[in-house]
Amino acid sequence: MHEQPPQLRNKVIVLNGFSNDEIARIMAAVKPLFEQPRDLIFAKTTEHSLEMKLKDLIVDISEDHEYLKRNPPNLKSVNTEGTA
């Protein structure tokens, strides 16, 4: 028997069919229930992810999550082209 990759031990919530507003409300309601909410992974399905095996999807989004934790996006550098 082989050991599972560490990514498969992550807490992952996959959301399908929700609007972005509904997802924001779900995240706001769920995060306070956990001691380490930054460790929760929320994912919205895409056409591509719906075709993936669940195991592969969890590994993929877990790797993305770890990358973003190490390299947080600079929200101040959002493209503001076309604004006054």
Which pLDDT tens digit goes with each residue over 24-61?
A: 999 999 999 999 999 999 999 999 999 999 999 999 99
Q: Is residue 75 part of a domain?
A: no
Q: Is residue 80 part of a domain?
A: no
Res 78: pLDDT? 55
Q: Is residue 34 part of a domain?
A: yes
Q: Is residue 77 part of a domain?
A: no
How much is the pTM? 0.77
Q: Is residue 82 part of a domain?
A: no
- Is the pLDDT at 81 greater than 70, yes or no? no
Residue of 2, 5, 8 whose CA lies nearest to 58? 8
- Ramachandran area for residue 45 (φ above 0: left; ψ -120 to 50: alpha; else beta): beta
Q: Is residue 83 part of a domain?
A: no
Q: How far is CA 46 from the centre of its chain?
A: 12
Q: What is the mean pLDDT of residues 57-84?
A: 80
Res 64: pLDDT? 94
Structurally, the chain folds into a number of domains equal to 1
User: Given CA atoms 16, 19, 25, 27 in this order, what sign does their dihedral have?
Assistant: positive
Res 84: pLDDT? 46
**Which residue segment(s) compose the domain that 58 sits in?**
6-70
